[in-house]
A and B are shown apart, each in its own frame.
Chain A
Amino acid sequence: MEQAGRTILIVNDETDTVAELRTPLERAGYAVLEANSGDASLERVYIEPPNLIILDLIMPGKTGADVCAELKGDNIYGHLPIILSVPEKALGGQINWERLKVDDYLVLPCSEKELLLRTTLCFSRASRELDANPLTGLPGNVTIIREIERRVASGGDFALAYLDIDHFKSFNDRYGFTRGDEVLRMTARVLVNVVRGFESGSAYVGHVGGDDFIFIMSPEYCTEACEQIITNFDQIIPTFYDEEDRMRGSILSTDRRGNRVVFPIMTISIGLVDSRDAEIEHYGQASYRASQLKSYAKTVEGSVYMKDRRK
Chain B
Amino acid sequence: MAEREHSAVASRKNDIKEEVLKIEDLPTLPPIAQTLRDMIEEPGILADDVSLLVSKDPALSANFLRLVNSPFYGFPGRIVSVRHALTLAGSNVVRAAASKIGVCITPREQIIGLWEHSLWVALASRLLAERLQFTGVDEVMVAGLLHDIGKVVLCTLFVEEADRVYRAAGERRITVLEAERDILDVDHAEIGLWVAEGWNFPATLKEPIAYHHEPDRSEDRPLKTAVVHLADILVHSLGFGHYGNNVVPELQQSAWKKLQMSVKDLREVVDEVDNELSVTETALYRST
Report the stretch among B93-101, B173-181, B228-236, B279-287 that lies at the interface: B93-101
Question: Could you tell me the distance between the alpha carbons of A247 and B221 in the complex, rounded to whole angstroms?
Answer: 13
Given A47-B24, A181-B74, A182-B78, A190-B87 contact (CB < 8 Å): yes
Question: Could you tell me the distance between the alpha carbons of A196 and B90 in the complex, rounded to whole angstroms?
Answer: 9
Q: Residue on B with the closest CB to A49?
A: B72
**Do residues A239 and B93 form an inter-chain contact, with CB atoms below 8 A?**
no
Question: Is A307 positioned at the interface, with any CB of B under 8 Å from its CB?
Answer: no
Q: Which residues of B contact A196 (CB under 8 A)?
A: 90
Q: Which residues of A contact B202 (CB under 8 A)?
A: 239
**Smallest CB separation, A245 vs chain B (Å):** 11
Question: Is A76 positioned at the interface, with any CB of B under 8 Å from its CB?
Answer: yes
Question: Could you tell me the distance between the alpha carbons of A240 and B136 in the complex, rounded to whole angstroms?
Answer: 12
**Do residues A47 and B67 form an inter-chain contact, with CB atoms below 8 A?**
yes
Among A70, A183, A186, find the residue whose CB has the most chain B CB atoms closer than 10 A: A186
Q: Among the listed B87, B93, B221, which residue makes an inter-chain contact with A46, where contact means beta carbons less than 8 Å apart? A: B93
Q: Which residues of B contact A124 (CB under 8 A)?
A: none
**Do residues A186 and B96 form an inter-chain contact, with CB atoms below 8 A?**
no
**Do residues B84 and A189 form an inter-chain contact, with CB atoms below 8 A?**
no
Question: Could you tell me the distance between the alpha carbons of A186 and B74 in the complex, rounded to whole angstroms?
Answer: 8
Question: Is A232 positioned at the interface, with any CB of B under 8 Å from its CB?
Answer: yes
**Do residues B97 and A74 form an inter-chain contact, with CB atoms below 8 A?**
no
**Do residues A193 and B84 form an inter-chain contact, with CB atoms below 8 A?**
no
**Smallest CB separation, A37 vs chain B (Å):** 12
**Smallest CB separation, B223 vs chain A (Å):** 10
**Do residues B139 and A239 form an inter-chain contact, with CB atoms below 8 A?**
yes
**Do residues B73 and A189 form an inter-chain contact, with CB atoms below 8 A?**
yes
Q: Among the listed B91, B96, B221, which residue makes an inter-chain contact with A197, where contact means beta carbons less than 8 Å apart? A: B91
**Do residues A182 and B97 form an inter-chain contact, with CB atoms below 8 A?**
no
Q: Which residues of A contact B100 (CB under 8 A)?
A: 43, 47
Q: Residue on B with the closest CB to A185?
A: B74
Question: Is B227 positioned at the interface, with any CB of A under 8 Å from its CB?
Answer: no
Among B79, B92, B139, find the residue whose CB has the most chain A CB atoms closer than 10 A: B92
Task: Tell me whether chain A's interface is mostly helix, strand or loop, or mixed.
Answer: helix
Question: Is A102 positioned at the interface, with any CB of B under 8 Å from its CB?
Answer: no
Q: Residue on B with the closest CB to A192?
A: B90
- Give the residues from 39 to 78 in chain A that come closer than 8 angstroms, CB to CB, to chain B: 39, 42-43, 46-49, 70, 74, 76
**Do residues A182 and B25 form an inter-chain contact, with CB atoms below 8 A?**
no
Q: Which residues of A contact B136 (CB under 8 A)?
A: 238-239, 246
Question: Could you tell me the distance between the alpha carbons of A46 and B96 in the complex, rounded to whole angstroms?
Answer: 7
Given A48-B24, A182-B74, A239-B81, A189-B97 contact (CB < 8 Å): no
Question: Is B83 positioned at the interface, with any CB of A under 8 Å from its CB?
Answer: yes
**Do residues A186 and B88 form an inter-chain contact, with CB atoms below 8 A?**
yes
- Give the residues from 222 to 242 in chain A that come closer than 8 angstroms, CB to CB, to chain B: 232, 235-236, 238-240
Beyond A235-B87, A236-B79, A239-B136, 18 additional contacts (C-beta under 8 Å) are A43-B99, A46-B92, A46-B96, A70-B92, A74-B92, A135-B74, A182-B74, A186-B75, A186-B78, A186-B88, A189-B74, A189-B90, A190-B88, A193-B89, A236-B84, A236-B88, A239-B78, A240-B78
Give A residues with C-beta under 8 Å from B.
39, 42-43, 46-49, 70, 74, 76, 135-136, 181-183, 185-186, 189-190, 192-193, 196-197, 232, 235-236, 238-240, 243, 246-247
Give B residues with C-beta under 8 Å from A.
24-25, 67, 72-75, 78-81, 83-84, 87-93, 96-97, 99-100, 135-136, 139, 202, 221
